[in-house]
């Protein structure tokens, strides 16, 4: 009897120890995943560009195989004002410069991990400190909140539909998060965010900053999370974006433009 009780005690202790090890391993895995997703400086940028191209091609194939075309408005008929005739249509940089009345000629590069990156508690632009990490997040928040009220007669340009996937991977599972964007002549960003895992679609709102070309948006009526990138990135096939969270964490993700089912070769 004593030996049996002793064995049971030892077994319970071993089981508890195993569960603790599993929890520790799981927490460690989460930390590693988050660390991999930080906007730190990328040592091998050439390899990262290759990874992005390969992931872009894979994502497009995955979407063709699994999600031929999302109807972002099916369950939200009251969002009719966001229903552009061709939501997948994308804009070129030349179209953007002629669309805004701000006299832009050259795009500002927001290549996170290359010319903009996080180190310690600072954000660098090139070799110079641009802001503290907190200040940089607050700047994005201010841009996202800067959009004026949308008027019924506002003109809109479609920026397209993008899959959101982790940056730094050449391959991965099919994406489950998608964002559809358009911009007004006043620099208002509008559109929808769709999560295919939860089948939830939400309206987004944000703005383009006239001086810096930074573009930030969030779910309508919410402060967090905030996604940002440069407006020029939204004219490319793929490009990095930052996502700022309420706990102060900032992660780097990849936006992959999805092909227009009606015209997959271009605008």
What pLDDT is recorded for position 173?
Answer: 94
Identify the burial level of 114 via C-beta atoms within 10 angstroms of its C-beta, where 0-12 means exposed, 13-18 middle and 19 or more buried: middle
DSSP E strands, 142-231: 156-166, 177-184, 188-195, 200-208, 214-219, 226-230
> What residue ranges do the domains of the chain occupy?
37-257
pLDDT tens digits in sequence order for the chain, 267 residues long: 444 444 544 444 444 444 334 233 333 333 344 445 778 899 999 999 999 999 999 999 998 887 656 555 555 544 545 555 677 888 999 999 999 999 999 999 999 999 999 999 999 999 999 999 999 999 999 999 998 777 667 788 999 999 999 999 999 999 999 999 999 999 999 988 989 888 888 989 999 999 999 999 999 999 999 999 999 999 999 999 999 999 999 999 999 999 877 666 666
Sheet holding 116-119, edge to edge: 116-119, 122-125, 128-132
DSSP element (H, E) containing 249: none
Say what the pTM is: 0.81
What pLDDT is recorded for position 16?
Answer: 41
What is the distance between the alpha carbons of residues 176 and 127, in angstroms, rounded to a whole number?
A: 36
Contact 260, 137 (CB under 8 A): no
């Amino acid at each position: 009897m004593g030996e049996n009780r002793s064995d049971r005690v030892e077994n319970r202790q071993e089981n508890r120890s195993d569960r603790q090890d599993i929890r520790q391993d799981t927490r460690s895995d989460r930390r590693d995943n988050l660390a991999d997703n930080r906007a730190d400086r990328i040592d091998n940028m050439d390899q990262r560009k290759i990874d992005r191209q390969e992931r872009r091609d894979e994502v497009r194939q995955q979407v063709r195989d699994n999600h031929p075309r999302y109807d972002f408005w099916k369950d939200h008929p009251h969002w009719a004002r966001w229903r552009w005739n061709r939501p997948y249509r994308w804009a070129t940089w030349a179209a953007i410069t002629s669309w805004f009345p701000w006299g832009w000629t050259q795009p500002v590069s927001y290549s996170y991990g290359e010319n903009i990156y996080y180190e310690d508690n600072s954000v660098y632009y090139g070799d110079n400190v641009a802001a503290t990490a907190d200040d940089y997040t607050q700047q994005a928040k201010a841009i996202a909140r800067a959009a004026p009220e949308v008027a019924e007669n506002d003109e809109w340009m479609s920026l397209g539909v993008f899959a959101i996937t982790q940056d730094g991977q050449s391959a991965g599972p099919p994406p489950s998060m998608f964002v559809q964007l358009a911009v007004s002549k006043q620099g208002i960003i509008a559109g929808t965010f769709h999560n295919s895992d939860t089948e939830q679609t939400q309206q987004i709102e944000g703005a383009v900053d006239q001086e810096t070309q930074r573009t930030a948006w969030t779910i309508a009526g919410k402060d967090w999370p905030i996604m940002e990138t440069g407006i020029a990135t939204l004219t490319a096939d793929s490009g990095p974006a930052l996502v700022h969270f309420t706990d102060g964490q900032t992660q780097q993700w990849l936006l992959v433009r999805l092909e227009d089912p009606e015209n997959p070769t271009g605008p």
